[in-house]
Structure 1
Amino acid sequence: MSTDSPFDQEHTVTDDGRIEFSSIGEGHFIFEDKNLVYSEDDQVQHELEVQLGEEGQTDVNATVLWKHVVKGRKCGNAHGGSHVFKCKHCQKIYHGTYTRVYAHLMGHKKGESKGIGYCSAVKADKNLQLQIKREVEQAESSPNVVPLKKSKLNSCSGATSQGPSLALSYAGSFEKDPSAQDRHDVDSKVIRCLCANGIPFNVLRSPYWEEMVSAISKELGYKSPSYERASTILLQNERIIVESELDDFKQKWSHYGISILSNGWTDVKHRPLINVIASNQFGSMFLHALDFQVVEKSHKKIAHYMLETIEKVSPYNVVQLIMDNSASCRAAGEDVMKAYPCIFWTPCIVHTLKLVLKDVIKELPWLKKTYLTAKAIVKYIVYHFDAAEIFLNHSKLELLKAATRPYAVYYIFHLLFNVKETLVAAVLSDQWEIWSRLPILDEKVELCGYSVKEGVLSEDFWEAVQLALDIIKPVYKMIKFTEQEGPLIGEICERMDNMLGEIQDNLKKHVEMFMTVKEKLFSRWTKSNVPLQCLAYALTPKYYDEDLIQTPAPGGRKRCAPDQDDDIFEGAMAAICKMHPNDDHADTIRVQFLSFVEKKGKFSSPTAKRDARNPKINVLQWWKFHGGDTKELRDMAFRVLAQPISASSIEKPWSTYNFIHHAKRYQLNESQADDLMFVHSNLRLLSRFNQNYQYGQHRKWDINSGHIFTDESSSQWEEMHLSGLEDESSFLSPASTSHSSIQELLRIIEDVPSNCNQSTDDASLVNCGDRGSPAVGVYRLDSTGKTKKFL
């Protein structure tokens, strides 16, 4: 190396640890010696080979910050493991061990001195500080790496002498990580704890579990809090923290409004609970839950409870109240609207469609008989080991694992129809003839083997199944649409018309049957009863597109712009007047509404028309882009279009009811149980609106296939949206599934808890189980597809 190289000279160090090279400029920093690292690839390789005296032999991840400097050769024996290095950020040259590199890039506590200053470039760039912090944390907490030395990171409560508060404190003391055997022992303790306390393994997917383990690993000698402290002070503090995390969402309430979602649930013993959530398109917040086991279940009590909730969140913020479409909830909603005329009561669209299915099944005796026969055939197979084994021997078909939902009748018909050939082959086999003569031992079985064979071989039965699907499938598609996320309230009226049109197309040869379905639908839902949905439809710009209007609609219906539909226009005007009791304000908005529907001003621009057709721009974004000239109308559009349409789309199957009763069982008082429910529910709701919930290692972490109260498969159906409904073959894709059809049918007919929200006066045939009820099925399939019986 050249004698001019600074790496061969004796270095003098200033007070902050920087080396002075008074006679050599920046351009003389020479990269020609073989011991100098001059590229990132070489640097990584070099770090794997170099022994750092003070740090010892180290894994590369334990010295992750070396990549932020250009490292020269050792400084000599006097300096032990010291190296000359140049910071890539501030371009200054220093010498020292990894300890100094760490202190230079991470800062150190006030009063400490590592002989090196905090990097000025890092100090000035908060994003760079966070990046470096994450790199260090990930390297030191990586489960795949066992570094021999580990720093201790603590967030500084205030600014340090060398850097801002975002810099992490650096503890110079190191201690050796446990050996591989020690790590195995720790893993064993974790599994033992989970098993002993009945905690599902799914908890290991939770981001909160990862945060907990990471925090414990950084706090040496940490002791777990006591039961008393956890259930009092710590629980109260956590509620305060969660409430602060919800502040961003609550700040949007005054501008976008909220809907109060109220779901009624019962457990297997029919103990009632009503839980309440505040929601709009920007988030959801669990407010509280009321155990109606101890109060009168009248509409007056429900209304009183809702009025207290509205007062708590401010009546101005509340746009609508969404409840079940039962008689008591409807009466309670009317009482609320009398107290607050500006608030809408809207029936939950999912519950409404469930009741429509119930009404149709009751009105059509053949449909009820077909459903009961199909269910009995499924029960016969899944509750008999030999029958199930015969079926599996003839089945090559695997189906997506379906959720048990309020529309389980659709699943039974659809899946049974798709295994028709397998069922026929099974009942015609020699094994079936022998086994079907054996006595029936399980009380759940309603048909004998001969009756099952007769039903499976009956063409009339399969024709009835197909006709049932013609009625139920459009309703199912509508339910699945309502369970998507996003501003959907403006599409309900159009989608309901399309649903009815599809049923009409399917029943062209059965006009009387179609009229029965139509009558039952209109008895539960009409446009005149949902003025807010009419207004949302009228404020959705894509429905004024000329190309869309010319597109044929299902059922032969002629499309028209929303303002040309008398029911829609009257409902929209009624909603505007209801939301704005001040006549002058209402008049201003109505005039601006006419400018919108007539496409005047900015609404006539090519960009506005193009954005209306653009699926990448939702309706809220459209109004933000193009509603500036009509601010009053735009602000009203925000409040209307940001509202949800269904309580079921927000309340995921988290066994809320049972969680409360477990809290009572463990002798928590009312305040503690309320805090526990608040923290539990809102942490999950916060997760749902986090990007990491949709993607990454924590994707949908709270949906647990191993827990009897949750339904992992609902996410699979949710992701399919409507694509699978248009192509029947998509339900039968062998490449993407791992559950046999017999297991699928087992899940449907077992008394496992359902997602359906039910009221005490609306039990239905399509209700496939109560929330919180235990799974009572006795058969399961092992990894080879064989049925096992659990004692």
Structure 2
Amino acid sequence: MDAHVKRRTSEEVVAERHGKGPQQTTMENRMRSEEERDKLRSYFARWAYESGVPFNALRLRGFEELVEAIGQYGPGFKPPSFHDYRVPLLKSEKEKIDEIKKKHTISWKKGCTLMFDGWTDKKGRHLINFLVNSTEGTFFLGPVDASSQIQDAKMLFEFLDNKIEEIGEENVVQVVTDNASNYVAAGRHTRFLEAMRVHTRGADLVRAGATKFASSFLTLQSLLKHKDNLRKLFLFDHWDNSKLSHTKAGKQIVEIILSTPFWNGVQDCLRASLPLIQVLRIVDGDERPALPEVYIAMEEESDESIVNSLMHKANDAFNDILTRMVPDTTLQDKISAQSAAYTGSNGSCKGDVVWWEKHRSSTPELTKLARRLLGLCCSSSGCEHNWSIFEFIHTKKMNRLEHQRLNDLVYIQYNLRLQIRFQEKGNNPEILIHWCLMI
């Protein structure tokens, strides 16, 4: 092979494999027999089964890159030692994450969101995750062990104050949290549940959505879908012979299920809540800034009265935000004047393109504030995506590690997962902001 031909990195090869374009097959792969490939796969499987590697680990892009890198290295590769894996390699990977943090730090200066969420592990320790979201994506700052602290508003304020100082007080536009997930509990009546599944062909009525707010909507949808079968359930001998049928609660259930007004109410609720669910799905995420997408969704709303009402509330909120974020009254007046000119324009996102092209250079103060606002996320769901990482790392074996090394492991794995999640989404948050502002 020509020495001047640059070999593609394992990351490039795997990225091409996951892309939509045609994939190249190397000469070496063509020359390998199926028997050789099966033998190699068997070695991987044996190691994974012996060490207890979770099946999902084989889906990670990093695993594919590892395999490709080993193949490119060729025969004779000596794997890292226990010490290498535990000390120098861990240090090296942490330094790489720190380099990624530098890119995020630059983006934080445009405005960012501090997100946090609490979690109690199996040993009763209360941990608080702190993350920062910006147009660069979401970055995990690290956990704080609050087990020994008195968990009150003063404690939380001290933690937040420290993190805001670390990020830069002038950079943090908002703080978002959601601790409701820690207090959710549910109970089920097993025997009655099994009887219900007979009539719903194995389906559960209570459906867990990808997001918490979607669960109630999906449950109502499921109720309506199984309406006829649910009614049949209460007309069979199995129900009459159950103890629950003779209780006050059981009689109330029958009355509700057989009630026509109840089902009409379910239909009305689904029709009324669908637009709200669509908006909530937009804002419950951190991969893309939510406000530009909400603005675009408003453009598609056919009811002009709803749009006007939302715009009026948005203007009121903007005035409140302006006084909070811009303490200089002279600067406030400039932004207000520029905002008034903007409000008097076309008033639509597509029509705004012309306005921003024409006036962006003459409205630098409004432009800067708009970018800070449009780049925000509206949810702390990014905190909730990776609790399994803590469950995995905080095992009995891992807990023998020194505290700092354990934190480094969490720091590396959490941020690698976040980076992969944003890469797989394939979204560039800046595109939405530029599209709305044309800056």
TM-score, normalised with respect to structure 2: 0.75
State the alpha-carbon separation in 1 of the partners of residues 305 and 96 from structure 2: 53
Is contact 1:489–1:644 with CA below 8 Å preserved after alignment?
Answer: yes
Which residue of 2 is the match for residue 380 of structure 1? 191
The structural deviation recorded for 1:427 is 5.4
Which residue of 1 is the match for residue 280 of structure 2? 479
Match of 1:589 among 316, 324, 335: 335
Is contact 2:119–2:126 with CA below 8 Å preserved after alignment?
Answer: yes
Counterparts of 1:258-277 in structure 2, within 5 Å, are 258-267=112-121, 271-277=125-131
State the alpha-carbon separation in 2 of the partners of residues 405 and 609 from structure 1: 30
Match of 2:366 among 620, 629, 633: 633
The structural deviation recorded for 1:469 is 7.0
Q: Given the alignment of the two structures, is residue 598 of structure 1 paired with residue 340 of structure 2, yes or no? A: no
Which residue of 2 is the match for residue 391 of structure 1? 199
* 1:222 counterpart SS class: coil
Which residue of 1 is the match for residue 98 of structure 2? 243
* 2:173 counterpart SS class: strand
State the alpha-carbon separation in 2 of the partners of residues 486 and 597 from structure 1: 25
Q: Given the alignment of the two structures, is residue 300 of structure 1 paired with residue 111 of structure 2, yes or no? A: no
State the alpha-carbon separation in 2 of the partners of residues 542 and 380 from structure 1: 45
State the alpha-carbon separation in 1 of the partners of residues 297 and 228 from structure 2: 44
Match of 1:189 among 15, 36, 43: 43
Counterparts of 1:235-634 in structure 2, within 5 Å, are 235-254=90-109, 256-267=110-121, 271-324=125-178, 376=188, 379-382=190-193, 384=194, 387=195, 390-391=198-199, 395=201, 402-403=208-209, 405-407=211-213, 408-426=215-233, 428=235, 432=238, 447=244, 455=253, 459-460=257-258, 463-464=261-262, 467=265, 470=268, 474=273, 476-484=277-285, 485-489=287-291, 551-553=304-306, 559-560=308-309, 562=311, 565=312, 568-599=314-345, 611-612=350-351, 627-634=360-367
The structural deviation recorded for 1:477 is 4.8
Structure 1 residues 463 and 625: CA distance shift in structure 2, 3 A: farther
Give CA-to-partner distance per residue, 1:335-379, whole Å, 9 cap, x none.
xxxxxxxxxxxxxxxx6xx99xx9xxxxxxxxxxxxx9xx757x4
Q: Given the alignment of the two structures, is residue 680 of structure 1 paired with residue 413 of structure 2, yes or no? A: yes
Is contact 1:549–1:561 with CA below 8 Å preserved after alignment?
Answer: no
Structure 1 residues 585 and 663: CA distance shift in structure 2, 3 A: farther
State the alpha-carbon separation in 2 of the partners of residues 578 and 187 from structure 1: 59
* AA matched with 2:59: R
Give CA-to-partner distance per residue, 1:468-514, whole Å, 9 cap, x none.
6755872655533322553323687xxxxxxxxxxxxxxxxxxxxxx
State the alpha-carbon separation in 2 of the partners of residues 542 and 404 from structure 1: 21
| Larger relative contact order (CA 8 Å, sep ≥ 6) | 2
The structural deviation recorded for 1:598 is 2.4
State the alpha-carbon separation in 2 of the partners of residues 680 and 597 from structure 1: 45
The structural deviation recorded for 1:456 is 5.3
Structure 1 residues 631 and 141: CA distance shift in structure 2, 3 A: farther
The structural deviation recorded for 1:276 is 0.7
* AA matched with 2:173: V
Match of 2:31 among 138, 143, 147: 147
Which residue of 1 is the match for residue 5 of structure 2? 106
State the alpha-carbon separation in 2 of the partners of residues 259 and 223 from structure 1: 44
* 2:142 counterpart SS class: strand
Q: Which has the larger radius of gyration?
A: 1
* AA matched with 2:209: A
Which residue of 1 is the match for residue 436 of structure 2? none
The structural deviation recorded for 1:244 is 1.9
Total equivalences in the alignment: 411
State the alpha-carbon separation in 2 of the partners of residues 687 and 404 from structure 1: 19
Structure 1: give runs of 5+ residues left out of the alignment.
1-101, 109-125, 149-178, 327-350, 359-371, 441-446, 493-539, 696-791
Is contact 2:120–2:127 with CA below 8 Å preserved after alignment?
Answer: yes
Is contact 2:256–2:262 with CA below 8 Å preserved after alignment?
Answer: no
State the alpha-carbon separation in 2 of the partners of residues 399 and 626 from structure 1: 54
Query: Which piece of structure 1 moves more, 229-238 or 589-598?
Result: 589-598
* 1:262 counterpart SS class: strand
The structural deviation recorded for 1:575 is 2.2
The structural deviation recorded for 1:448 is 6.6
State the alpha-carbon separation in 2 of the partners of residues 490 and 258 from structure 1: 15
Is contact 1:260–1:276 with CA below 8 Å preserved after alignment?
Answer: yes
State the alpha-carbon separation in 2 of the partners of residues 449 and 197 from structure 1: 54
* AA matched with 1:199: V
* 2:404 counterpart SS class: helix
State the alpha-carbon separation in 2 of the partners of residues 257 and 184 from structure 1: 52
Is contact 2:118–2:128 with CA below 8 Å preserved after alignment?
Answer: yes
Is contact 1:483–1:649 with CA below 8 Å preserved after alignment?
Answer: no
* AA matched with 1:202: N
Structure 1 residues 410 and 674: CA distance shift in structure 2, 3 A: same
* AA matched with 2:308: R
The structural deviation recorded for 1:656 is 4.0
* 1:403 counterpart SS class: coil
Is contact 1:482–1:649 with CA below 8 Å preserved after alignment?
Answer: no
Counterparts of 1:639-788 in structure 2, within 5 Å, are 639-648=372-381, 651-662=384-395, 665-690=398-423, 692-693=424-425
The structural deviation recorded for 1:633 is 0.9
The structural deviation recorded for 1:277 is 0.6
Which residue of 2 is the match for residue 32 of structure 1? none
Is contact 1:391–1:423 with CA below 8 Å preserved after alignment?
Answer: yes
The structural deviation recorded for 1:634 is 0.4
State the alpha-carbon separation in 2 of the partners of residues 204 and 316 from structure 1: 42
State the alpha-carbon separation in 1 of the partners of residues 303 and 231 from structure 2: 46
* 2:341 counterpart SS class: helix
* AA matched with 1:212: L
* AA matched with 1:630: T
The structural deviation recorded for 1:283 is 0.8
* 2:2 counterpart SS class: helix
* 1:627 counterpart SS class: helix
Is contact 1:424–1:457 with CA below 8 Å preserved after alignment?
Answer: no
Structure 1 residues 662 and 627: CA distance shift in structure 2, 3 A: farther
Structure 1 residues 471 and 106: CA distance shift in structure 2, 3 A: same
The structural deviation recorded for 1:666 is 3.5
Give CA-to-partner distance per residue, 1:256-281, whole Å, 9 cap, x none.
21111111223467642210111023
Give CA-to-partner distance per residue, 1:424-478, whole Å, 9 cap, x none.
4455567x47xx869x9xxxxxx47998799457545675466467558726555
The structural deviation recorded for 1:388 is 6.7
Which residue of 2 is the match for residue 123 of structure 1? none
State the alpha-carbon separation in 2 of the partners of residues 139 and 410 from structure 1: 47
Is contact 1:272–1:292 with CA below 8 Å preserved after alignment?
Answer: yes
Structure 2: give runs of 5+ residues left out of the alignment.
18-22, 428-439
Q: Given the alignment of the two structures, is residue 228 of structure 1 paired with residue 83 of structure 2, yes or no? A: yes
Structure 1 residues 578 and 404: CA distance shift in structure 2, 3 A: closer
* AA matched with 1:147: M
